[in-house]
Amino acid sequence: MKKLLLLIMSILFFNVAMTQNNAIKITNLNTNKEKVIKENKRIKLKTSDGRKIKGRFKIENTSTISIDDVQLNLIDIEELKRNPLLTAILTTGFFIYVGTITAGVAVLVGILVDSTAFWLVLPAAGLIYAGITSPNINKNHKINKGWKFEII
C-alpha cells in the first residue's frame, strides 16, 4: 500500500513539475525589466491598425495569440496592459456609486435648499460615464516606449 501511494504521489509531482505554463513576457529594452502575464489572464491591447481588443488570451503558437477567437501576431501589437477583473469591477463600481450619490445629493439640495446645486449633476454625469467606460489604471506597455513582447 505504501508503494502504491508513493508511486501515485511521485507521478502527480512529476506531472506538475514537468508541465509548462505558457505566458507573454514583456521586456523593457532600456532597463531590462521583465513582466510575465500567464495564459488565460485578462488583457487589453491595441493593434497597429487601431483595433482595441480586450479579453482572456490564449497562446496559439510562438508568434500568435488569440483573444475571443481573434488571432493576432505579436508584431501587430502596439500596446498591451493587464486588465484584471477585480480592478475593473472596483473602479467601475466606485465611479458609478459616487456619481449616483452626487446626482442624488444635487437633486435633493436643489429642490430643498438652493437651485444652483443642480449644477452638481454635471460632474455626477461625468463620473457615471467614467464608470460605464470601465477605466483601467494599470501600466500600459507600448512598443515605442521600448517594450518588447515575446511568448515563453
Which residue's C-alpha cell is 513539475?
Answer: 17
Domain shared by 108 and 120, yes or no: yes
DSSP string, 83-133: --HHHHHHHHHHHHHHHHHHHHHHHHHHHHT-GGGGGGHHHHHHHHHHHHT
- In angstroms and rounded to an integer, the radius of gyration of the C-alpha atoms of the chain is 23
Tens-of-pLDDT digits for all 152 residues of the chain?
Answer: 778 777 787 776 665 555 667 899 999 988 989 999 999 999 999 999 999 998 999 999 888 999 988 899 989 999 999 988 888 888 999 999 999 999 999 999 999 999 899 999 999 999 999 999 878 788 889 989 889 999 98
Number of domains making up the chain: 2
Q: What is the pLDDT of residue 8?
A: 80
Is 125 within 8 Å of 103 (Cβ atoms)? yes
Task: Report how far apart the first and last C-alpha atoms of the chain are (Å, whole number).
Answer: 40
pLDDT tens readout for residues 95-112:
999 999 999 999 999 999
Q: What is the pLDDT of residue 16?
A: 59
Domain of residue 42: give its range. Answer: 24-83
Domain-embedded: residue 67: yes
Domain shared by 56 and 68, yes or no: yes
- In terms of pTM, does the model score above 0.85? no
Q: Supply 100's cell numbers.
A: 449616483
Measured at the CA of 126, the angle between CA 120 and CA 129, to 5 degrees, comes to 140
Q: What is the pLDDT of residue 68?
A: 87
Domain shared by 28 and 77, yes or no: yes
Q: What is the pLDDT of residue 19?
A: 60
Domain-embedded: residue 145: no
Domain-embedded: residue 9: no
Q: What is the pLDDT of residue 97?
A: 96
Q: What is the pLDDT of residue 41?
A: 93
Domain shared by 68 and 111, yes or no: no
